Amino acid sequence: MKKAVFILLFGLLSTTVHSQKRDNIWPMGYRSFPNPDYFYFDFSNGQPDTVRYYREMPFFITHASICDTTGNLLFYTNGQYIANKDNDTLLNSQNFNPGYYTLSYYPGGLGFSQAALFLPFSDTSRFYYVISESAEEFIYNSQFNDAQPFHLTYSIIDASLDSGRGGVLPNAKNINIINDTLILGRITACKHANGRDWWVIFRKSDFSVGSSNNDWYTYLITPYGIQNFSVQSIGSQNHTNNGQICFSQLGDKVVFSNLMGLLELFNFDRCNGLLSNPIIIEPEPTIPPAKYFWSCAFSPDASKLYVSTNETPTYLFQYDLNSPNIAASKDTIYSLSYPLEAGGELKLAPDNKIYLSNWYFNGFQTPYPYQDTVYNMYNMNLSVINQPDSLGTACDFQPFSFYLGGKRTYYGLPNNPNYDLGALTGSVCDTITGVAPSPLENPDSYWEGGRLYPNPAKEKVRFEYSEPVSENSQIEVYDNLGVMVKKIILTKGSISTTFSINDLPPGMYLCRVFINNAYSQSNKLIIIR
């Protein structure tokens, strides 16, 4: 019989800041036949080495990868499935990110920037979250097909499965974090002030219904599950379904940009996950044309902001964030009139340079894939900002300067948060506390075959179990003080039940399930109004 033990941890735990190498390797490359464009960047020696290797996974736009703390590649994904360190399909990773567009882009990889993200439970844990998003099709203006995400999901990887190659836990796969209209991809995260947990932040989009909003969603991801869900309405209205959220290296600044041309700067509190002090750098234009801001990146010291566009002509802009008038400091670092849409993703790399992906639009079927004969300087090189902390031309932007060894790439670059960010020393929350050991770190308490949804929930919650429940089965709901506030008796032989939560105030709760008087599972439940 499995038994659950509540353990409340108090006291101050020391945290240390140390350099990790979790983003040391960038799997990249487009798929072609018979000569695959597969390669990766290896930053192990400080500067990127282009290494050719064979793998099955192609990349269109969606990239995500993670290494261990010594820089050895563990997992990577194109949004359709996950590969392990041996470049084979990760155990149980097929269809980990279901949706219309995941299937429609097969076999080339999902076509959304930052649509997946790997987050470790902790520096020493064998468990990893993979946060992901796909999209469904809708008709825009009664004429054009467009994409709208309706779910943000997570799956959990156990690196010890499959003889150390890892695998997705069968009962922790495609778990909905939220069901709502969201912007396309652009999933990002920042370390909590305790240096271990993660704030995942993203924006709502009402594009599919022709409306706008200024809503931000924030979750705290810990080894204990998803906590501290919040919706914050702040800053300007967003009228698009595509924009990027970008964190500074210290996690204290956030920029949001969108395709219309909105560029807005915020302060970010790593302790409570809240935004403040919105500063409009570029407003959304009220009349066309749109500015098509595609990607953004802070310089290492957060004194400069770089923004790329996805239009004709293509631009790279620099903004001086130390200027009393940030908008007036705008400097056009580079522009390109041809080919169409040559600018792609900006990314600050481990060598403290910013890389810009390039892609080639003319002369091949739109929008994907390349024809096998289309090799040129635009798709066979990355552009590089060599001194991103420097102002103007001193930043040393070199277009199409990093040769990819005869291989090609598209828009995307790997999506990585700042894994090196440590605890915020002196903060009121720079220590790690918890309410219980992670159920995954204690395999005896990990449940199999059940789920609670929706989560977050407003009025009702549904519980489903993979097999009919036996007698003496119940759900117990506890508040954040450990007090049981609700008990639901499960009908013998049933495989589901729905219960009301209208009598419970908003907040985070723990739902514990007992089957035949034996502890079976625990789930965090978030109630919102």
Query: pLDDT tens digit string along 241-252?
Result: 888 999 999 999
SS3 of residue 396 by DSSP: coil
Residue 394's pLDDT band, with cuts at 50, 70 and 90, is: very high
* Tokens read off for 3: 């038994």
Q: Return the exposure string of 443-482: e unless at least 16 CB atoms fall within 10 Å of the residue's CB, then b.
A: eebbbeebbbebbbbeeebebebeeebeeebebbbbeeee
* Tokens read off for 231: 């919706």
Q: Where in the chain is the domain with CATH 2.60.40.10?
A: 447-527
Which CATH number applies to 447-527?
Answer: 2.60.40.10
Name the nearest CA neighbour of 260 among 237, 276, 231, 277: 237
Residue 320's pLDDT band, with cuts at 50, 70 and 90, is: very high
Instruction: State pTM to two decimals.
Output: 0.80
Per the prediction, the chain carries an average pLDDT of 83
* Tokens read off for 483: 């007090």
Span between the terminal Cα atoms of the chain, in Å? 38
**Can you give the pLDDT at residue 2?**
33
* Tokens read off for 69: 């703390």
Query: Does the structure show a pLDDT above 80 at 3?
Result: no
Rounded to a whole number of angstroms, the CA Rg of the chain reads: 23
Residue 92's pLDDT band, with cuts at 50, 70 and 90, is: very high
**Can you give the pLDDT at residue 61?**
86
**Can you give the pLDDT at residue 182?**
85
SS3 of residue 521 by DSSP: strand
Query: Does the structure show a pLDDT above 50 at 431?
Result: yes
Which stretches does DSSP call E strand in 223-290?
225-238, 243-247, 253-258, 263-268, 275-282
What is the average per-residue pLDDT within 163-189? Answer: 87
Residue 229's pLDDT band, with cuts at 50, 70 and 90, is: confident
* Tokens read off for 376: 């040129």
Name the nearest CA neighbour of 456 among 271, 143, 229, 247: 229
Span of 19-23, 58-62, 462-466 with lowest mean pLDDT: 462-466
d(CA 526, CA 226) in angstroms, rounded, equals: 9
d(CA 192, CA 223) in angstroms, rounded, equals: 13
**Can you give the pLDDT at residue 445?**
32
Residue 118 C-alpha from the chain's centroid = 7
